[in-house]
Amino acid sequence: MTLPELYLALLIGGVVLLASIAAAHTAHRIGLPSLLLFLAVGVIAGEDGIGLDFDNAQMAQALGTAALGLILIEGGLSTRWEDVRRQLAPAGVLATVGVGISVVVTAAGAHWLLGMEWQLALLLAAIVSSTDAAAVFAVLRSLPLPQKLTGLVESESGFNDAPTIILVLVFSTVGTNPSSPGLLVLNLFYQLAVGGLLGVLIGRLGAAALRHIALPATGLYPLATVGFGIIAFAAAGTVGASGIIAAYLSGLVLGNAQLPHRAATRSFAEGTGWLAQIGLFVMLGLLVDPSELPSAIVPALVVGSVLLFVARPISVVLCLLPFPIPWREQTFISWAGLRGAVPIVLTTFPIVAGIDGARDVLNIVFLLVILFTLIQGPTLPAVARRLRLVRTGALREIQVETAPLDVLDADLLTVGIPEGSRLHGVAVFELRLPPPTVVTLIVRDGTTLVPDRETVLREGDELLLITTPHTRDATERRLRAIGRRGKLARWLGEHGSPDPEDDAPTRTE
C-alpha cells in the first residue's frame, strides 16, 4: 500500500467511525439498538451504496472472531461476580442443552416449512441459536432488573457462543469430515473445559501481576488488563479450545479483582468494545449484497418466528425445570434471547467452507437479526414492566473516571426515589447506611443540594452516594428495605433482598 492509499483508507475509516458514533447517538435517542444503524452504515458504504467493494468472507471471519473476543473481554470486565455466581448452573444448562434444543426445533421448522435440506437447516439453526453478548450487555444494563435475572441472561450469552461455534463447524464439514456423537461431545467438553481453565488462570495471573507491579503511567493499566484478556483468547484458540469462553472468563476474573485504576480500565474496555462492535457491524454490512435480500425476507420471517415463539421458549422451560425460577422470569429470559453480531459472523464459516446455499444463509440471517432485533430490543423494557420485574428505586452504577475514587477504592452510585416509596419523609441520618457510605448530593426538582444529616428525602429525589465495593450490597439492601417498609424496616423483618419473596416469611403486618 502506498502512502496516498494509506491516507485515503484512514480518511474513509475515520469518516465511517464518526458516522457510526453519530448513529449510536441517534439510536440511543430514538430507542433503537445501535447494531442496526451500524449495519446500515456498512450497507450504505458498500458496493450498492457509496461503492466500497468488500467480499472477502475469510477476512470477515477472522476479523469478526477477533472483534467478538474484545467484546466479551469488555463484557467480563464490567460484570460483577456476585451477580452471576449463583446463576452459573442454570446459565450453563441454557448455554449447552438449551442451544441443542433450539437447534433441533429451529432446524425442524426450516426443513418442514421451507423445504430446506437437513444439513442446511441444521447449519442455519446452529448459526442463530446463540444469544448475542454485545446486544444483551447493551440492553439489559440499561434496565433496573433483579441482579440474579440479569446475571443469568448475561452469563448465558457469554457462555453459549462456544457450543454454537462448535456445532456450526461440525455442520459445515459434515459431508467431508463426519464425526460420531461421542467425538462431538468430547470436543465440546474439551473446548469448554480447557478454554474456561485458561481464561481463569490467565485472569488470575494478570490480577496478581497488576497488583504487584507498579507501572510508570496510569494509562498502561487499562492496556495491560485488556492485554491479558487478549492473551487468554489467543492462547485458548492456539490449543484448539474456546477462545470465546477464555476471553469472557479472563475479563470476569480481572474485572472483579481489586486492581488499581479500575474506573479507567472499565472506561477503556468500554471504548474498545464499542470500537470492536462498530468495526464488526460495519464490516458485516459491507459483506451483504442488498440486491439479494428481498428473496430472503419470507425465509427470515419463518425461521425467526419458529426460533422466537417456539424454539426459544421450549428450550428455556425445559432447561430451567430443575431450578426454582418463577415463570415471569422464565418468560422474560425467553424474550430476551437477542441475536446480533455472532450469528452474522458465523455465516462466514459455511461460506469459507464452500457449502452450497451458504450465501442464502447469510442473507436469511442478516434479515432475521435486523427484523427480530427491531421486535425484541425496543420491547424488552415494556415486557419487563408488564411482567413486574422492574425494580423501582434500584441502584444504577455509573462509571467514574476521576482518580480520587480509584484512590479510595470507591464506587459512585445513584438511586431514585419513585412515587409511593417509603423513603419519602426519611431523614438522611435515619438511613443508617453502612459506613463509610455517604449521601453526597441530592438532585431535587432540577436543582442540586448538599444534604446534612437532618435533610428529609422526598419522592422524585435522585441521590448520589459514595460507597465501597465491600459495602455496596449492604447499602443497596438497606435502601431497598427502607423503600419498602420505612425507617423501621429491620424491626418489621424487611432486610432488602433483591427478590422481595425472600423476605416474605419473616415479615409481620
Distance CA 83, CA 140 (A): 13
Question: How far, in Å, are 117, 237, 247, 455 from residue 70 at the CA level?
Answer: 35, 14, 8, 45
Cis omega (within 30 of 0) on the bond before 436?
A: yes
Q: Name the CA dihedral angle for 301, 101, 139, 482, rounded to a multiple of 10 degrees.
A: 140
Confidence tier at 113 by pLDDT (50, 70, 90):
very high
Place of cell 421458549: 313
Whether 103 contacts 122, CB under 8 Å:
yes
CA-closest candidate to residue 74, choices 163, 192, 154: 154
- Render pLDDT for 472-507 as a digit per residue (tens, 0 to 9): 888 888 888 888 888 888 887 887 776 555 555 444
Please give the model's pTM, rounded to 2 decimal places: 0.70
CA 498, 500, 501: angle at the middle one, nearest 5?
120
Task: Examine the pLDDT at 509 and tell me if it is beyond 50.
Answer: no
- In this prediction, residue 402 carries a pLDDT of 40
- In this prediction, residue 131 carries a pLDDT of 80
Phi and psi, residue 396, nearest 5°: -125, 120
Domain range summary for the chain, segments of one domain joined by +: 3-67+80-179+280-386, 396-506
Distance CA 7, CA 341 (A): 29
Residue range 396-420: mean pLDDT, rounded? 63
Assigned CATH topology for domain 396-506:
Alpha-Beta Plaits (3.30.70)
Confidence tier at 318 by pLDDT (50, 70, 90):
very high
3-state secondary structure of 338: coil
Question: How far, in Å, are 162, 169, 181, 318, 323 from residue 330 at the CA level?
Answer: 23, 30, 30, 10, 11
- In this prediction, residue 175 carries a pLDDT of 56
- In this prediction, residue 507 carries a pLDDT of 40
Task: Examine the pLDDT at 319 and tell me if it is beyond 90.
Answer: yes
Distance CA 312, CA 91 (A): 14
3-state secondary structure of 78: coil
More confident residue, 321 or 278: 321
Whether 436 contacts 471, CB under 8 Å:
yes
CA-closest candidate to residue 421, choices 499, 489, 490, 504: 489
- In this prediction, residue 27 carries a pLDDT of 66
Range of lowest pLDDT (17-31, 209-223, 316-330, 400-414): 400-414
Confidence tier at 313 by pLDDT (50, 70, 90):
very high
DSSP state letters, 458-503: -TT-EEEEEE-TTTHHHHHHHHHHHHHH-TTTTTTT----SSGGGT
Distance CA 77, CA 229 (A): 9
**Range picked from 156-160, 247-251, 259-263 for highest mean pLDDT:** 247-251
Fold match, 3-67+80-179+280-386 / 396-506: no
Confidence tier at 230 by pLDDT (50, 70, 90):
very high
What residue type is assigned to position 405 of the chain?
A: L
CATH, domain range 3-67+80-179+280-386: 1.20.1530.20
Confidence tier at 385 by pLDDT (50, 70, 90):
confident
The rounded percent of the chain whose pLDDT value lies above 90 is 18
Confidence tier at 291 by pLDDT (50, 70, 90):
confident
Distance CA 256, CA 75 (A): 12
More confident residue, 340 or 398: 340
Task: Examine the pLDDT at 292 and tell me if it is beyond 60.
Answer: yes
- In this prediction, residue 259 carries a pLDDT of 78
The rounded percent of the chain whose pLDDT value lies above 70 is 86
More confident residue, 386 or 32: 386
Cα dihedral sign, 80-130-141-323: negative
**Range picked from 78-82, 300-304, 346-350 for highest mean pLDDT:** 300-304
- In this prediction, residue 399 carries a pLDDT of 42
Range of lowest pLDDT (107-116, 123-132, 383-392): 383-392
**Mean pLDDT over the full length of the chain:** 81
Question: How far, in Å, are 65, 99, 139 from residue 346 at the CA level?
Answer: 9, 15, 22
Task: Examine the pLDDT at 398 and tell me if it is beyond 80.
Answer: no
Residue range 455-469: mean pLDDT, rounded? 89
Strands of the 411-416 sheet, one edge to the other: 396-397, 411-416, 462-467, 438-444, 447-449
Please list, in sequence order, all residues whose beta carbon lies within 8 angstroms of the beta carbon of residue 206, skipping any fewer than 6 positions away.
224, 225, 228, 229, 231, 250, 253, 254
Nine cell digits for residue 179: 464425526
